[in-house]
Amino acid sequence: MNASIVLLPGDGIGPEIVREARKVLEAVASAHRHTFEFTEKLIGGIAIDETGDPLPQSTLDACLASDAVILGAVGGPKWSDPAAKTRPEAGLLAVRRRLGLFANIRPIVARNALIGASPLKASLVDGVDILMYRELTGGIYFGGSTASDDGTTVADSMRYSVGEIERIVRLAAEGARSRSGRLTSVDKANVLAVSRLWRKTTERVVQDEFPDLTLEHQLVDAMAMHLVTRPKDFDVIVTGNLFGDILSDEASVLPGSLGMLPSASLGASGPGLYEPIHGSAPDIAGRGIANPLGTILSAALALRHSLGLAAEADAVEDAVDAVLDGGLRTADIADGGRSVGTADMGDAVVEALR
């Protein structure tokens, strides 16, 4: 097949890890006789430096015309001035909104070779396989802010409509139906009116459209505890923007490193956006030691969800497992294996593909 893929390296370690994901995708294309056309564009802090805009129009146009978008990371201390007119993260929020990406899917899988890298006991982590659905374009991040004239009082609004809740719950329910048939919805319905609407809508959608599923509700504070005390009890989780942001980062300790976790941001149509869940890690940028596996696994999600190449996606994921089983480790997951750098890890995945 022919496919257009936009690369958004961004800031910090972004260019280093995206380079390895491209290397793996090129190997997939060569092995399976596909043609992938890559276009690299600016986003985030580097885009502010070069254009004054964290999401230049040329970047947005390229993303809209593509089949899939792969992002590295945005942000860093250089652009953290609270008085700045714009911040790198505004580019990420804007591209999600303009592409209509309402669902962020984060697989949280404890890979056999890395059980020892998790800070939790092996008995808790072994066998964890969670699929988390985070609503991406609503909630407090997009509800708007107000401030008093003197700046001493600020309010952020958490907003959700029935339609926004319905579409993410349907997607998560379809995911649950294809797995164990269990869906956990996370809210704060004992305190927040928004969460009571979330719970009511979730119950109606599941009862009317997915009666074969088993639905349970968890309050977000209890869920934060359960993720590190009994994570194997959960399969598919759906929640709002803020709660999903926090819980998915918490869950990253289960596989042993933020550097291992991919994500897919999807809409009703058009290209998906694929990125590791970690940040730009400016403290290690340029040192060649960043873990590219989260980005490589994000590329596998792009193959599966945007390009319809499930077998190729499986091959990439199997190659990552083979490399880890062989004992290779980047610094963040060093657990007695052989330590390698960013490029060497990417090369090893390519070799395993072959």
Is 245 assigned a catalytic role? yes
- Give the tokens for residue 303: 């193959």
**Given 11, 53, 187, 245, which residue is catalytic?**
245
- What does the alpha-carbon distance between residue 306 and residue 276 come to, in Å, rounded to a whole number? 16
**Listed residue (346, 350, 353, 354) closest to 20, CA to CA:** 346
* Cβ–Cβ < 8 Å for 259, 293: yes
DSSP 114: G
* Cβ–Cβ < 8 Å for 335, 47: no
Is 249 assigned a catalytic role? yes
**Given 78, 232, 235, 249, which residue is catalytic?**
249
**Given 41, 188, 274, 332, which residue is catalytic?**
188
* Cβ–Cβ < 8 Å for 186, 195: no
**Listed residue (177, 179, 173) closest to 109, CA to CA:** 179
**Given 23, 129, 141, 232, which residue is catalytic?**
141
**Listed residue (72, 102, 100) closest to 88, CA to CA:** 72
Is 141 assigned a catalytic role? yes
Which H/E stretch holds residue 168? Answer: helix 162-177
**Given 221, 233, 283, 314, which residue is catalytic?**
221
Please list the active-site residues: 141, 188, 221, 245, 249
